[in-house]
Structure 1
Amino acid sequence: MEVENMDLQIPGVFVITGAMASGKSTIAQLLAERFERGVHLRGDTFRRMIVTGREEFLPDPSQEAIHQLQLRYQISASVADMYVKAGFNVVVQDIIVGPMLKEFIDSIQSNPVYLVVLSPDEKTIKQREETRGKTGYGVWTVTQLNQMLQVDTPKIGMWLDTSDLTPEETVEQILTRVESEGLVSQNETRLS
């Protein structure tokens, strides 16, 4: 089904971020499905591609872990740009918090770029974590990651409290509001 809420003259990048269990995967998939030509780009895929030598990003990360995270973000931005150049709307889904969020947005060469930060309350995140098929929280706590999101992440883009929204309602909110609240980059230079 094609998007009815937005008037997309040119393809763009939609960045969906938030804490683990905030609904990023579900929302990104549903959003990508709404476009006539849509891509759901899962940033974590690039982390899992490292077979040996991978260093996980922990609360007190090593320099190598930081480097690998930055590499993952650079690859995601490059792949998103390639899909946009081919005429697709791209929904990039990943945990991109703290100062690296602005760096990630700036690394995307395509435009427009829309940012949606899913920000349900901690109680909702904990409930979602308990009911989903995978476990995201290990060494991180919900409070630690949520604090990194709420305190250390620049307040740019569209922040959406999804605590009381279904996935479908969340996508409708995004499609209705993202052009006015979520536009973070509309450079004059386009990929050609």
Structure 2
Amino acid sequence: MSAVYLITGIQAAGKSTVAQALAERLPRSAHVRGDAFRRFVVNGRAEMSAQPTPAALEQLRLRHRLAAATADEYAHAGFTAILQDVVLGEFLPWTIERIRTDPLYVVVLAPHSEAVAAREAGRDKNAYGEFSVSTLDTVLRETTPRLGTWLDTSDLTVDETVEAILAEARPIRR
């Protein structure tokens, strides 16, 4: 049976790793990396910032629309699509509305900001730029609607997180 899992959270929350591990556990699956759609833009890319420009917001909407459509196409072809991206605040319900596949599971990885900061410090890349872990953690916890399954993964391994998703996530109702 096909489905879509939308895995979100702030940078360094474990989205990519968890989404890949979840995809590997399922018999017919595709891992859709939302950030890939941002990187497709060669010239004229407007990056997100604390005070985003209208162009940056429109490109973020484009990225989420393309990712949602891609996940739906994989599901339509009989795959379970695991769509992973930073989808926070008002963009979470906006993106959910664009995913047509039923069932749709929404999973928010929400480790404590200290755990995220430790993970970020151990990575080869810096995903935060002008943002801070605490700033995005506040956006997650204070402006993101409580849709789907929220998991505190601060003390969970990747395998334990996948087990929690498979055991606890329920399709959302639209």
Give distance in 2, aligned partners of 1:113 and 1:66: 25
Give distance in 2, aligned partners of 1:52 and 1:93: 24
CA RMSD of aligned residues (A): 0.8
Does residue 90 of the first structure (1) align with residue 81 of the second (2)? Answer: yes
Equivalent in the alignment of 1:157: 148
The one-letter amino acid of 1:46's match is: F
Equivalent in the alignment of 1:41: 32
Equivalent residues, number: 174
Equivalent in the alignment of 2:172: 184
Give distance in 1, aligned partners of 2:112 and 2:35: 23
**Long gaps (5+) in structure 1:** 1-9, 188-192
Q: Describe the superposition over 1:3-27 as per-residue Cα deviations: whole angstroms up to 9, x where unpaired.
A: xxxxxxx210000000000000000
Give distance in 2, aligned partners of 1:178 and 1:11: 15
Shift of 1:101: 0.3
Equivalent in the alignment of 1:134: 125
Shift of 1:114: 0.2
The one-letter amino acid of 1:175's match is: L
Shift of 1:132: 1.4
Q: Which structure 1 residue ranges, 4+ long, deviate > 3 Å from structure 2?
A: none
Per the normalisation by structure 2, the TM-score is 0.98
Q: Percent identity?
A: 45
Shift of 1:184: 1.5
1:66 to 57, 68, 72: 57
Equivalent in the alignment of 1:123: 114
Give distance in 2, aligned partners of 1:38 and 1:81: 12
Shift of 1:143: 1.0
